Chains A and B, each alone.
Chain A
Amino acid sequence: MLFLRLFLEFFKTGLFAIGGGMATIPFLYEMSDKTGWFTHADLANMIAVSESTPGPIGVNMATYVGYITGMNAGGTALAFLGALTATIGLITPSVIVIMLVAAVLKKFSENHYVNSAFYGLRPASTALIAAAGITVVITNLLPINDIIEKGVLAVNWQGLILAAALWVLMNKVKFTKKLHPIVFIGISAVVGIIFSMN
């Protein structure tokens, strides 16, 4: 039953996440809230691992979520089954949709309604990822509930400084701008260890 639900949740993600791997993130947050299969902190770790390993990010995240869900349900034996179920769930809608679209290939990309739908879909998809991003920031850097209770001390100042430094390195410094995300993830891990960030 769990595996059927896992399949269906990822089928839904595959069907409605539009515009690449990052677009799956809002759906994974919803899944976490709804099912409790994994936590928000788990999810942030999954995003980092998915960015720093081979394979498309969306597929990597599905595999990771499936693995953790299976493992929580029944140890390592079920973990791989979970990974397989989630991944197959994610790709099934793609396969079906592409098979249908392939039949009308030219007409599809030139269709007025398809293009109009995407005019609305693109900003919505971006907004969903932005909202998920804000949730990630609140969880890790600005824990609002703690700040209301304990004041500015609850702000993760070390984290904010690291985030600002990373942003500058990724966007403004000529020599580091082109580096692969894995480099920044590695640097962040080392900084986390040195300053005992947890």
Chain B
Amino acid sequence: MKLLFDMFITFAKVGVMTFGGGYAMLPILQREVVEKKGWATEEELMDYFAIGQCTPGVIAVNTATFIGQKKKGVIGGIFTTLGVVFPSLIIISLLAGVIEAFSHIEIVQNALAGVRVCVCVLILNAVVKLFKKAVVDKWTTGIFIVVAIGALFLPVSPVIFVILAALTGIVLKSLGGKRE
């Protein structure tokens, strides 16, 4: 029980210190989990992080579940995962309450209008970064264009595109596999 509590607290700490996306979490995990607690080795952490990126869901959550389950099985995975989301629950709930309470004030609306412009640029930057890693040849360029146009103009759930893209990847690699 004491270990589970320690795991919850350690990952809550990791959650608080992760500012931004999952990638910001890696150096913090190295310090808290590998160096301080010794719950995983450096290599294991890199493996978990790599697999956390190619399994569904938020990378930070996936990595937390991995370390927890390695240390203490299913229940361990649940405790570390709850730990990593705990700060978000508290902080966002408090902030959302405050923002909603003041959102009718003109000065707050003006500030939020400015902030929304910034969000456009932040998403653009994220897309450019992902694009460089994901779009590597003519096939991936084709997938990008088809999905982008489809998502903009067809009333189809993103789920459909995700499933079709995975199947397309498997088909393309199977056909081209012999050449590589």
| Residue B3 at the chain A interface, CB threshold 8 Å | no
Known contacts A126-B127, A167-B121; is-contact A197 B110 (Cβ 8 Å): yes
Separation of A116 and B96 alpha carbons in the complex (Å):
40
Q: How far is the CA of A30 from the CA of B55 in the complex (A)?
A: 22
Does the CB pair A55–B18 fall under 8 Å?
yes
Question: Given the interface contacts A128-B161, A197-B110, does A54 sit within 8 Å of B100 by beta carbon?
Answer: no
B21 interfacial contact with A, CB 8 Å: yes
* CB contact between B96 and one of A44, A79, A94, A115 (< 8 Å): that residue: A79
CB distance A49 to B99 under 8 Å? yes
A67 near B92: Cβ-Cβ < 8 Å: yes
Inter-chain contact count A-B, CB under 8 Å?
372
Using CB atoms, name the residue of chain B closest to A50. Answer: B92
> Is B111 in contact with A193, judged by CB distance below 8 angstroms?
yes
Closest to B162 in A: A16
Contact B122 A45 (CB under 8 A): no
* B92:A55 contact, CB within 8 angstroms: yes
Q: How many residues of A contact B (CB 8 A)?
A: 108
> Smallest CB-CB separation from A180: which chain B residue?
B19
User: Which B residues form the contact surface with A (CB < 8 A)?
Assistant: 15-23, 25, 47, 50-62, 65-66, 69-70, 74, 77-78, 81, 84-85, 87-89, 91-93, 95-97, 99-100, 106-107, 109-127, 130-131, 133-135, 139-141, 143-148, 151-152, 157-159, 161-162, 164-170, 172-174, 177
Residues of chain A touching chain B, judged by Cβ–Cβ distance below 8 Å, are: 12, 14-22, 24-27, 30, 41, 44-45, 47-51, 53-60, 63-64, 67-68, 71, 76, 79-80, 83-84, 87, 90-91, 93-95, 97-99, 101-102, 105, 108-109, 112-137, 139-141, 156, 159, 162-163, 166-167, 170-171, 180-182, 184-185, 187-193, 195-198
